[in-house]
């Protein structure tokens, strides 16, 4: 019962936070000047459509119309510049799959490697292996992902010619996002996104497992006759995974957020690249639907992580 009340409370706070952020974004973007296309016929058609949609009304009236359309018709507006007169929601969903695939591939690659390095560093604590891994982690965490993107392009494309410079289009990849040729073209952004995830997971795993290995119950397990490997696998890993697994869950939930800069560099036709296009072209409704999407995914990830603690460890009860 308390768990249900806690979940309901978090959901209410999530939607309230979403409303506040969406409101701020709406007023900020609508205060920017609108520009009509140079083509007179298209400009007149767009101006007439804007008038019908209430774009020339006061900002509070515009916001009321915007919220009403979302609640009653699930209408997030229309794209006027990126893809003329295509509904903003349809434009977002059409760009969702590339973002999910690139980020999912990077997590599938990063999670096993990050866990393995973190476990190895914890077992070899204060030895040269631990120092080497910790130094590498510090470097990888400190460097932005777009720097890795340029390094990947330089070495793997220009020097070694192992991957293409940018992600292939559907036509070039055989008409599907799931072909081997498309996967090969996605290796660049996947590798660039993996470095930071590997470093973060390795550092977190090492910290948690190091603390667990020095606890009293591990000493008791060793005195009962268990070898170091048996005590680590049976007891230490099980307890260390309690805070680590929610971190992995949040990564899986947060993959929809993607990486705007990486998508722009590698030409991934995903949600992140769409976001940057909407800002550059002042495509108001596309910008707003992207804001709603990114904000909702981020807030939902936080709730899922908090609730996952209670499911992973029965001793933890959220809301108690």
Distance CA 59, CA 31 (A): 8
251-255 LR contacts (CB < 8 Å, sep 24+): 251/107, 251/111, 251/197, 252/107, 253/297, 253/300, 253/301, 253/304, 253/305, 254/297, 254/298, 254/301, 255/99, 255/100, 255/103, 255/104, 255/107
For residue 180, pLDDT beyond 80: yes
Encode pLDDT of 45-56 as tens digits. 777 777 777 778
Q: What is the pLDDT of residue 154?
A: 92
Report the range of poorest mean pLDDT among 29-38, 59-68, 83-92, 198-207.
Answer: 29-38
Task: Work out the average pLDDT over 253-259.
Answer: 65
For residue 318, pLDDT beyond 60: no
Distance CA 281, CA 142 (A): 32
- The answer to whether 120 touches 129, Cβ cutoff 8 Å, is yes
- The answer to whether 198 touches 248, Cβ cutoff 8 Å, is no
Query: Could you tell me if residue 175 is left (phi over 0), alpha (psi between -120 and 50 degrees) or otherwise beta?
Result: left
Q: How many residues does the chain have?
A: 320
Distance CA 148, CA 188 (A): 10
Q: What is the pLDDT of residue 34?
A: 73
Encode pLDDT of 19-70 as tens digits. 999 999 999 888 887 777 677 777 787 777 777 777 788 888 888 988 888 8
Q: What is the pLDDT of residue 248?
A: 77
**3-class DSSP state for residue 186?**
coil
Report the range of poorest mean pLDDT among 218-222, 270-274, 282-286.
Answer: 218-222
Residue 178 φ/ψ, nearest 5 degrees? -115, 20
At 91, the pLDDT band (50, 70, 90 cuts) reads: very high
- Please compute Rg for the chain using Cα positions: 24
Global pTM reads: 0.82
**3-class DSSP state for residue 87?**
strand
Report the range of poorest mean pLDDT among 29-33, 34-38, 89-93, 261-265.
Answer: 34-38
Bridge partners (DSSP) listed for residue 86: 79
Task: Work out the average pLDDT over 255-275.
Answer: 82
Q: What is the pLDDT of residue 17?
A: 93
Distance CA 33, CA 55 (A): 12
Q: Two tokens at 281?
A: 């072209």
Distance CA 81, CA 78 (A): 9
Q: What is the pLDDT of residue 257?
A: 61
- The answer to whether 288 touches 88, Cβ cutoff 8 Å, is yes
Encode pLDDT of 298-313 as tens digits. 888 888 877 777 666 6
Q: What is the mean pLDDT of the chain?
A: 83
Q: What is the pLDDT of residue 22?
A: 92
Residue holding tokens 């799959």?
Answer: 97
Report the range of poorest mean pLDDT among 12-16, 27-31, 226-230, 298-302.
Answer: 226-230
**3-class DSSP state for residue 84?**
coil
98 compared with 211, residue with greater pLDDT: 98
Query: Could you tell me if residue 179 is left (phi over 0), alpha (psi between -120 and 50 degrees) or otherwise beta?
Result: beta
């Amino acid at each position: 019962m308390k768990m249900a009340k806690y979940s309901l409370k978090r959901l209410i706070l999530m939607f309230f936070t979403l409303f506040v952020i969406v409101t701020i974004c709406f007023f900020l973007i609508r205060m920017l000047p609108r520009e009509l296309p140079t083509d007179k016929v298209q400009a007149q058609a767009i101006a007439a459509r804007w008038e019908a949609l209430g774009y020339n009304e006061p900002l509070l009236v515009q916001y009321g119309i915007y919220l009403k359309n979302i609640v009653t018709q699930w209408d997030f507006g229309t794209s006027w510049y990126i893809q003329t007169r295509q509904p903003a929601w349809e434009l977002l969903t059409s760009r969702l799959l590339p973002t999910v695939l690139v980020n999912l591939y990077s997590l599938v690659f990063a999670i096993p490697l990050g866990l393995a390095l973190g476990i190895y560093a914890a077992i070899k604590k204060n030895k040269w292996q631990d120092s080497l891994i910790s130094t590498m982690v510090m470097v990888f965490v400190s460097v932005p992902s777009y720097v890795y993107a340029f390094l990947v392009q330089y070495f793997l494309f220009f020097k070694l010619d192992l991957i293409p410079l940018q992600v292939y289009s559907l036509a070039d990849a055989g008409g599907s996002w799931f072909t081997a040729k498309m996967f090969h073209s996605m290796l660049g952004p996947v590798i660039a996104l993996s470095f930071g995830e590997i470093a973060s997971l390795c550092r977190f795993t090492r910290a948690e497992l190091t603390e667990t290995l020095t606890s009293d119950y591990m000493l008791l397990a060793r005195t009962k006759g268990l070898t170091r490997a048996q005590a680590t696998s049976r007891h230490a890993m099980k307890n260390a995974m309690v805070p680590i697994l929610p971190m992995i869950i949040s990564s899986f939930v947060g993959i929809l957020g993607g990486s705007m800069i990486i998508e722009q560099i590698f030409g991934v036709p995903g949600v992140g690249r769409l976001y940057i296009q909407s800002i550059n072209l002042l495509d108001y409704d596309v910008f707003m639907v992207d804001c709603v999407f990114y904000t909702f995914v981020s807030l939902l990830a936080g709730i899922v992580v908090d609730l996952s603690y209670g499911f992973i460890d029965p001793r933890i009860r959220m809301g108690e």
